[in-house]
Structure formats: structure tokens, C-alpha cells
């Protein structure tokens, strides 16, 4: 009975079944203007003759063009050209490091854009909720590392011709150590810089201890 009461308190007044999501990607794909659609391409391990290094890669056709991605020691090579580390701009308080991407990484493509996401191999426990997402503008060879909590390439959408995404943060109530939900704060990339778009949505978890099932507030 106590568990049911906790769930009832977390549900926003008047919440409908259409506001209930089993995972963040389900929520992101419900938003308009999604830049990357469909499933990503998992990067498979391989090695080159004469080298002991393991490379993760994929090549094929997507978004109307041939594309190729390689990860080697954390360095990104896309469509045959290395992506210099200095061209990657991390979101405030995020850090770019070689252990961001590797086994299990996936690549997405859209016209003029690519996105690579992956959970660092060292992540365990609650750290596994953080995913490294690199948004890449192919023509200018620029990239941005997005905020990591519950991140996904599928969260990126185009609004007013600007790539837009959410920063997700836990939301707490009454001094409890366990979060009651999250807030989605919208940001965009304009002239290569992160800008706050001003739109904020809140969500409440509907099962104690489950941070992946939530309902949106009004």
C-alpha cells in the first residue's frame, strides 16, 4: 500500500497514458523535428594486418550516401578523415577523453550530420546512465559532446534550423536521496556555441527505484 501511495504522489494530476514512457529514447522519438531516425549502426571490432590495435568500425550507405566510421584508441575517423580532438566542443562540465567510445558504440547519419554514441566501458552502477554523445557536422568537421545523463543521438532535433537537444537533470523532493523524476532543459547550438532555448519539461518516475519509466508533467 505504501508503494502504491508513492506512485500516486509521483503521477502528475490528470496524467494520461500518452504521457507515460518506458525509456528516454521512447520520449525523444516522440518529439517533432528529429534529426536522426531509425536504428543506429553498431560499430564492430576488427584489426588491420600487422597491427595489434582493435578498431571499431562500420561502413555502408545511409542518408543517401556512403559513410564509414572508425574508432581507434578513442579517436574518431569519419568518412576517411580523422576528427581532430580540438574540433570537439564539450557541453559545460563535460570532458572529452579517449575512453568515451569503444565497444558497443553506434553511429547515426542524416544529411550533413553524423552522431556517435556509446557508454564508456568503465561505467558501472549509476554511471551507466551516462552516455557519451558526439554530434558531428560533416562539412565543417566540427563536433560537440552533449550532456551525458540519459543522452541519445535520437534526442537531437532541428528547430529553426538549429540542432537542439535536452540536458537532463534529476529532480528531488522533500530532501529525499532518491530522485523523484527529471527535468528536460532545452539547448541549441548556434554559431558553434551552446545556447539555452528556455523550454523546460518535467517528468516524474512512476516506480520506486526505476529511473527509466516516467510520465510527463503538465
Cβ count within 10 A of residue 135:
25
Return the H-helix or E-strand segment holding 27: helix 24-28
What is the predicted pLDDT for the residue at 56?
94
What is the predicted pLDDT for the residue at 50?
63
Residue 138 has which C-alpha cell? 560533416
Measured between alpha carbons, how far is 17 from 8 in angstroms, rounded to an integer? 14
What is the predicted pLDDT for the residue at 18?
56
Print pLDDT tens along the chain (218 aa). Answer: 333 333 333 333 333 345 899 999 999 999 999 999 888 999 999 887 766 778 999 999 999 999 999 999 889 999 999 999 899 999 999 999 888 898 889 999 999 999 999 987 776 788 889 999 999 999 999 999 999 999 999 999 999 999 999 999 999 988 789 999 999 999 999 999 999 998 999 999 999 999 999 999 86
What b/e string do you get for 142-168 counting C-beta neighbours within 10 Å, with b at 16 or more? bbbbbbbbbbbbbbbbeeeeebbbbbb
What is the predicted pLDDT for the residue at 152?
97
Question: Among all chains, which residue has been given the C-alpha cell 551552446?
Answer: 194
Measured between alpha carbons, how far is 85 from 82 in angstroms, rounded to an integer? 9
Residues present in the chain in total: 218
DSSP 32-100: TTBSS-S--EEPEEE--TT----EEEEEEEETTEEEEEEEETTEEEETTEE--GGGEEEPTT----GGG
Amino acid at each position: 500500500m505504501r508503494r502504491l501511495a508513492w506512485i500516486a504522489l509521483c503521477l502528475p494530476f490528470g496524467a494520461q497514458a500518452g504521457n507515460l514512457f518506458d525509456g528516454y529514447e521512447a520520449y525523444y522519438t516522440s518529439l517533432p523535428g528529429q534529426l536522426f531516425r531509425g536504428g543506429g549502426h553498431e560499430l564492430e571490432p576488427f584489426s588491420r594486418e600487422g597491427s595489434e590495435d582493435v578498431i571499431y568500425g562500420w561502413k555502408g550507405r545511409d542518408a543517401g550516401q556512403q559513410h564509414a566510421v572508425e574508432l581507434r584508441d578513442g579517436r574518431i575517423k569519419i568518412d576517411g578523415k580523422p576528427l581532430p580532438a580540438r574540433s570537439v566542443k564539450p557541453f559545460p562540465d563535460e570532458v572529452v577523453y579517449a575512453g568515451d567510445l569503444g565497444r558497443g558504440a553506434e553511429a547515426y547519419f542524416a544529411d550533413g550530420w553524423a552522431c556517435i554514441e556509446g557508454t564508456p566501458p568503465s561505467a558501472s552502477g549509476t554511471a551507466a546512465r551516462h552516455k557519451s554523445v558526439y554530434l558531428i557536422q560533416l562539412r565543417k568537421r566540427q563536433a560537440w559532446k552533449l550532456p551525458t545523463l540519459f543522452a541519445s543521438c535520437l534526442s537531437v532535433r532541428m528547430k529553426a534550423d538549429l540542432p537542439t537537444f535536452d540536458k537532463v537533470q534529476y529532480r528531488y523532493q522533500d530532501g529525499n536521496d532518491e530522485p523523484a523524476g527529471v527535468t528536460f532543459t532545452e539547448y541549441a547550438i548556434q554559431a558553434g556555441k551552446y545556447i539555452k532555448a528556455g523550454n523546460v519539461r518535467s517528468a516524474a518516475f512512476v516506480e520506486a527505484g526505476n529511473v527509466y519509466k516516467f510520465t510527463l508533467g503538465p
